[in-house]
Structure 1
Amino acid sequence: MGSELTTRDLASGEPLDLAIIGGGINGAAIARAAAAGGLRAALFEASDYGFGTTWRSTKLIHGGLRYLEHGDVGLVFESLRERAWLLQTRPYLVRPQRFLLPLLPWTRRPGWQLRIGLAAYDLLALYRAVPPHRPLSRERLRELAPYLPGEARGGFSFFDARVIAPERLTWELVREARQLGAATFNHTQVVSIAAP
């Protein structure tokens, strides 16, 4: 456990290694990672931790499937690693989520390209924490999603993850950042920044 920075430490004028402005889920995760890496970090949130975008998010923890199309393999690999970490360390908050990818006449990519992309996604995930993708027959797709248009000719299922309570996850990350030595300030607006 690190030694927590205090308001007095900050007032002393000793510079921080990192100041994070915004206590949403991303800011909290950055504060935790910085403190775990031994940096003198402080997190500032003007409203309440997890209040803004985090509270109104889609609640998805995705591995970055769409980034594969642009060849950003490094980002996908990193996102999948983080997704696996969340699924393994917080199974009470983060769960696998199945998605269906139907093949419709207007689907942008042919089925063979989607299959290759999903296989690459599985490979980059190293099959950690969620099942691999599966092809779906027209009949199986209809069982899983009877509301789809009749033109659906099959498709795929794949998994990503969802967070049940993003606000709680944010608070846990803030608490861990604090335990690791970060200073965290809720309801604290940053009005100016002085260069060292």
Structure 2
Amino acid sequence: MALAAAPPPLLVTAGPKQVARGWSFPARSTRAAQGSEGAAATSVAVVGAGPVGLLTALALARRGFRKVRVLDRLPEPPAPDASVWGDPDRSYNLGIGGRGQRALIKFGAFDRVDRWSKTVVGRKDWSGEGEPKVTINKRRFLTKVIARDRLSSCLYEELRESYPDVEVQFSTECTGVDFAHPRPRLSLRNCTAQEAEEG
């Protein structure tokens, strides 16, 4: 299935590079919009609804882009308050330092993320020779730790509430990009939860 939009979308990639399929794009846009009128008229596709893709969509919407579409092969994440987040098998934790916290503040998502994060005030290191060493953090920003998927869930919730016109399509895989046209054309395919997990 090809993405049919008028005009075709500006491509923004987010997340890991897809080298195995024969193409690789760093996180970038193929064309910058000129002014707020250009931004409002430009269609944008963000490939990847992880933390980077969703924060990119928040940033674009905040800058005046009105035709933003986020695509991800995984199913929609559970809500930030879902009981599934207590499952340690589902936990891949991220530490959000000062730069990450400033980005979340800038795009209005910090309070929502902070609500579900734990604050790290220091760390304890064990070595083979003796007593553990405790290091207390003295930085201005204390690290916030949250499960990666829960962070995505928080950002998705913020995006839905703050910018309801941004379209997020889960269970949709981008299988290729055709650059032979004036604007990139995406090839998309619907995928099941099992296919997405095996991905």
Larger Rg over CA atoms: 1
TM-score normalised over the length of structure 2: 0.48
TM-score normalised over the length of structure 1: 0.49
Q: Which has the higher contact order (CA 8 A, sep 6+)?
A: 1
Q: Indicate the structure with greater strand content.
A: 2
